[in-house]
Structure 1
């Protein structure tokens, strides 16, 4: 069990991998998402050529080796792998607890920022 947790946490240590997992969460379960577009944080744009190389040689093989995603090169796309739910639950848990996450950890994560703003906006004013 410890090894599986290590694999999940290693998978979420890099921004392009986090963005890809979030994009797959937003997509229908049986569909793929385009790359490198789906691995880019809109708040921190990256050089698309460099990102494409990093995805192809590092991020996508690592996620696929653990069964979190599947991917194809022509066109470059990714889909949910057989173990996708193991990484998805991390983001679903964070999103459902967005108001409890310290501000510095929310800043820069568009999804958590949005979720926190919506939940705080729904709460009564003090």
Structure 2
């Protein structure tokens, strides 16, 4: 309870730093996008939810990275909640902050340099299929 109150009083600059830190690695971005596409409260299976569908990934290596690096960080920031048995994740209490930034990036992809939106276009195509 005290932790939530402290997080609520965090300066906006700290919250921005945390959102950008969360988005700074592909498995975290992919997991967050998967959660955005899932209904609120639904758990998504890991490691599948953190893999770009157009890429192949070494599942055991990704599982280790998720377990020891990505998921603890996202959970500490309040963006996801996760469990090991079953290995899955769902939206955390602060998920809306990171989802809002991703939605704004998607909505304004036309204004971004082509080098930054190639992956976005691929994700949009997959969302539409």
Q: Shift of residue 95 of structure 1?
A: 1.1
- In 2, Cα distance between the equivalents of 1:108 and 1:85? 22
8 Å contact from structure 1 (residues 71, 78) kept in 2? yes
Give the alignment's TM-score, normalised by structure 1: 0.85
Structural mapping, 1:1-126, within 5 Å? 1-109=12-120, 110-112=122-124, 114=125
SS at match of 1:70: strand
More helix by share: 2
Deviates more, 1:7-16 or 1:96-105: 96-105
Structure 2 gap segments, 5+ residues each? 1-11
State the partner residue of 1:123: none
Deviations 1:5-46 (A, max 9, x none): 111100000000000000000000110111000100123321
SS at match of 2:119: coil
Deviations 1:35-75 (A, max 9, x none): 00010012332111000000000000000001000001111
8 Å contact from structure 1 (residues 33, 78) kept in 2? yes
- In 1, Cα distance between the equivalents of 2:93 and 2:75? 10
Aligned length: 115
RMSD across aligned positions (CA): 1.6
